[in-house]
Structure 1
Amino acid sequence: MPELLTPTVAVIGGGPGGLSAAAGLAPHLDQVVVLDREQQAGGIPRHSDHPGYGIRDRKRFMSGPSYATTLVEDARAAGAQILTGWTVTGWADDDTLEVTTPLGRVLVRPDVFCFATGARERPRTARLVPGTRPAGVLTTGQLQNLVHVQHQKVGTRAVVVGAELVSWSAVMTLAESGCRTEALVSEHPVGESYSLFRIPGRVAFRTRVETTSRVASIQGRRRVTGVEIEDTRTGDRKVLECDTVVFTGDWIPDHELLRSAGVELDPASGSPVVDAAMRTSKANVFAVGNVNHPVETADVVAIEGAVAAERILEHFGGRPAPEASVRLVADDPIRWVSPSRLAPGGPAPARDRLVCWVDRLVPRPVVTVSQGGHRLARKRLAWPAAPGRAFRIPSSMLDGVDAAGGDVRIAID
């Protein structure tokens, strides 16, 4: 029989959200374990050897590896047990995880699960990009692992598919490897990243953003030789010569374990349906971070992890789950909203914000909240609603929601 572990809380995922949740829980509970399939905990920041981490939560400007190390040290100092190389492969029953470890198969049956499994980028195959199948086609995660962990060279000329924040992270990693980025390719009329990154990035890295364009095919036999892109307005095509292609963004939540457990998923995002306390449809299963809303920055996710710890401690303290909640429904151009359920009178979402994703740029959005055909709130926000990055809405706009009033619709006028 495999060994059985029975911790108070099992945190699945050792990135910023999971480690911050563990650090908040461990001083107050008997045993908190973090299960991470990687050989080192810390999540994506471990591979991102450039500054920009820790601004919101640490009030410091840190590199990715330094930030990851700090999170790991804090969780351990708080008393959490971090088990690396432990891969959760499935469920033995409704309350027990099957885990493959360096010591063999182990069963983990906690009182509460906290899923912090994050999100991943959609690779070329999932995007159905035609052409040949040469070497040199990567995602940002693969690129960062090759450069920052394995210390390998990747090429000399690259094209980055996408123009999000993570796309510029890929550009920085390519530059560190000695690879020049010829262009970023975006289907949108304006690059998805903030102008704070977009404008200096074009100057610092001597690259350009090909907007309203899509990748029509990848060329090359043994190695990439070029990318054919198409202007989506005119249909004109041209070839960008390169030996490396990096697909960035287009995030997918890592929800497989939650789905196989029967947790309700949001059809628009693929994320678990959670309320403001980050409770899922199963009473003892919580979810935090980018598995709920792909994708937010690491420091925001870490803050959410600390809030999740508070909510889980309230759960152990006997605070009952709300008897009634309403569904939050996103209207075009908003694709999805997280949390996707609200319990009036319950706790506010982390950072007092709803996280949304939009499909087109609205420079000066006016957000409306309605229920039962009646408008509850209307507010012009000072920041744009832009594709490729989180669009945040103050949760105070939901203060007038009635628990018995049915679905709440969130729209942009």
Structure 2
Amino acid sequence: MNRTAGAGARTAAVDVLVVGAGPAGLAAATALSATGVTVDVVDRARDAPPGVRGGVTAIGWAAPRTLDLVGPAGPERVAAGAVVLATGARERPRGARLVPGTRPAGVYTGGELIGAVRRGTPIGRRAVVVGGERISDTAVRTLRGAGVLVAAMVTDEDAPARRARTQPIARAVVTRLYGVDRLSGVGIRLRDGRTRTLSCDTVVFTGDWIPEHELARRAGAAIDPGTRGPVVDGGHRTTVPGVFAVGSLLNGSDPANSAARQGRSLAGPVLDYLADGAWPPDGPGASASIGSSSAADQLKLGALRVSPVNGS
């Protein structure tokens, strides 16, 4: 069900509304803005980059290509000629991993850990990091920077490269959390069936990304059951006319440089849609790929110019 901003919300209209200010969203907005179209970029993070309206959350669709937003200035409704969803992905938390045990303090995802350290929140003394991706290495470095001893890195895959100078416990899964008020240990099972309990007061679950597809789903976009991201064609068109999707939203994990390339290449299809309103009648896959449109010839990278929305 879509929530709405309700009566009294401010209203505005822009050519393109970009939801999400990660590498894909920023690259798309920069490329589009350089062509002269009005672009509004919103992100729920309060510490958003310059040119982005931070602390703004999209809460639902009021009409096709029209989103209700809530931010520091209150509720608003923005109608756009096209909407670019670049909402990214989130790490799978402990609950979604179905790890049994108690629910003590000291359990984080990688993103939650980074946010807590930035806020100056005390973390703990001894930690276990779960995962073998780059975000896992970032978690190790963040913990060490906060003065926390990293007891182990646990991954269910073969041992990754020791980028964070931590010898991982490979081919192992977390089976249980222990502790009452505060985490006291993590149970693991090795692939050969042996079990161990690692003493720690902090555990960080990293990676295993889930696309943030809620807005796409509420718009009625088809969701790929494998990637759990919206189905798109070569021009990043979803099954909903005027709604595009890009970046980690599509597959849960995309390197920043790849996401930025996607964002830049998205501008051509968006400009074509703004010009003629054409959309593949049979959904994604029925149209030409990125770069085939004449609008792509207009693109030049430049500084991001965000259109004002009711003076904000």
TM-score by length of 1: 0.65
Judged with a 3 Å threshold, the aligned counterparts in structure 2 of structure 1 residues 88 and 347 are, in CA distance, closer, same or farther, namely closer
Q: Tell me if 1:36 matches 2:5.
A: no
In the alignment, which residue of structure 2 is the partner of 1:112?
A: 82
Query: How far is the alpha carbon of 1:320 from its aligned partner?
Result: 4.7
SS at 2:187's partner residue? strand
Query: How far is the alpha carbon of 1:324 from its aligned partner?
Result: 6.4
Query: Matches of 2:287 and 2:139 in 1, distance apart?
Result: 41
* Pairing 1:194-273 to 2, within 5 Å after superposition: 198-202=161-165, 207-233=166-192, 235-273=193-231
In the alignment, which residue of structure 2 is the partner of 1:11?
A: 18
The answer to whether the 8 Å contact 1:216/1:228 transfers is yes
Query: Matches of 1:140 and 1:310 in 2, distance apart?
Result: 35
Identity percentage of aligned residues? 40
* Pairing 1:89-100 to 2, within 5 Å after superposition: 89-100=59-70
Unaligned runs of 5+ in 1: 43-71, 77-81, 326-340, 350-413
Query: Matches of 1:231 and 1:209 in 2, distance apart?
Result: 12
Letter in structure 1 aligned against 2:98:
L
In the alignment, which residue of structure 2 is the partner of 1:164?
A: 133
SS at 1:269's partner residue? coil
Deviation string, structure 1 residues 33-72 (Cα, Å, up to 9, x no partner):
0011121214xxxxxxxxxxxxxxxxxxxxxxxxxxxxx4
The answer to whether the 8 Å contact 1:8/1:29 transfers is no
Unaligned runs of 5+ in 2: 1-7, 293-312
SS at 2:28's partner residue? helix
* Pairing 1:38-187 to 2, within 5 Å after superposition: 38-42=45-49, 72=50, 76=51, 82-147=52-117, 149-187=118-156
Letter in structure 1 aligned against 2:252:
P
The answer to whether the 8 Å contact 2:14/2:79 transfers is yes
Letter in structure 2 aligned against 1:199:
R
Judged with a 3 Å threshold, the aligned counterparts in structure 2 of structure 1 residues 272 and 25 are, in CA distance, closer, same or farther, namely same
Query: Matches of 1:166 and 1:261 in 2, distance apart?
Result: 30
Letter in structure 2 aligned against 1:95:
R
* Pairing 1:386-405 to 2, within 5 Å after superposition: none
TM-score by length of 2: 0.85
CA RMSD of aligned residues (A): 2.0
Query: Matches of 1:84 and 1:307 in 2, distance apart?
Result: 24
Query: How far is the alpha carbon of 1:262 from its aligned partner?
Result: 0.5
Query: Matches of 1:158 and 1:308 in 2, distance apart?
Result: 41
The answer to whether the 8 Å contact 1:276/1:348 transfers is no
Letter in structure 1 aligned against 2:60:
G
What is the count of residue pairs matched by the alignment? Answer: 285
Higher relative contact order (CA 8 A, sep 6+): 2
Query: How far is the alpha carbon of 1:178 from its aligned partner?
Result: 1.1
Query: Matches of 2:277 and 2:240 in 1, distance apart?
Result: 16
